[in-house]
Amino acid sequence: MREINEKVFAISGFRLEPVAGLVQPRVFLENLADGVFLCTQYIRHHSTPLYTPEPDVVHEIVGHGVTLASPRLAELNRLFGKAVQRTKSADALERLSRIYWFTIEFGVLREDGAVKAYGTGLLSSAGELGKMHQADLRPLDLDAAGRQDYDPTHFQPVLFCAESFAGMYQTLREYLVNW
C-alpha cells in the first residue's frame, strides 16, 4: 500500500489511508474531499478469489488505487466528498451514495464499440468483469442512479453505461458541482 500510495500521490495528490474495518458512508465519502481514501486492509478468502461482497485490499488497490491515479477520476472522487459535505439530509446522502455506487464503484462506458468498466468494483472482480455484459445496461442518468437500489452481495443486475469517458466525466462533474 505504501508503494502504491507514493505513486498515486505523485499523480493526483490522493492518499490511501489504512483503516480497521468498514467506516460509515459519510465518513468515507467526506474524506475524499481532502484527497484521502480510507482503505480496508484485510484480503478476501482464498476460496472466493473472483469476488468479494465487501471491499478488501485487492478491491482498494486494483480498483481504487488504480483509478485514483487518473487525475479526472481523482477529481470526481474529490467532488463527491465536497458534495457530501454540503449534504444535510439522510435521504440526499443516500441518493449521493447510490450515485457513487453506480459510477465510481460500478460504472461502465462505451469505447471503440465495446462496453468497458471504469468502476472499481468491476475492475477488482475478475468474475463480475466477465459477466457485466449480461447486466441490464441503462443509459447514464444520475437522477435515476440516485433512486436505484442495489445489493452489494451479488453481481449487479443493473449498470449505468456512459457513451464515452469524456461524456461520463463531464456529466458527473457538472452534477456534483451543482449538487
Range 98-157, binding Fe ion (CB under 5 A): 120
Angstrom CA distances, 164 to 39, 115, 147, 153, stand at 29, 10, 23, 28
C-alpha to C-alpha distance for 54 and 124, rounded to whole angstroms? 12
Helix axes 71-85, 165-177, angle to 10 degrees: 20
Is 64 catalytic? The answer is: yes
Count of residues in contact with Fe ion, rule CB under 5 A: 2
| CB nearer Fe ion, residue 38 or residue 168 | 38
| CB nearer Fe ion, residue 55 or residue 65 | 55
Is 154 catalytic? The answer is: no
Catalytic, out of 12, 30, 60, 64 = 64
Range 41-80, binding Fe ion (CB under 5 A): 55
170 forms bridges with which residues in the sheet? none
| CB nearer Fe ion, residue 152 or residue 163 | 152
Catalytic, out of 60, 124, 125, 128 = 124
Helix axes 90-100, 71-85, angle to 10 degrees: 170
Is 105 catalytic? The answer is: yes
Strand 136-139 relative to strand 114-117, pairing: unpaired
C-alpha to C-alpha distance for 22 and 27, rounded to whole angstroms? 10
Is 47 catalytic? The answer is: no
Question: CB of residue 63 vs Fe ion: minimum separation in angstroms?
Answer: 6
C-alpha to C-alpha distance for 164 and 168, rounded to whole angstroms? 6
| CB nearer Fe ion, residue 55 or residue 81 | 55
Catalytic, out of 12, 30, 59, 128 = 59
Which residues sit at the interface with Fe ion, rule CB under 5 A?
55, 120
**Which residues are marked as active site?**
59, 64, 105, 124
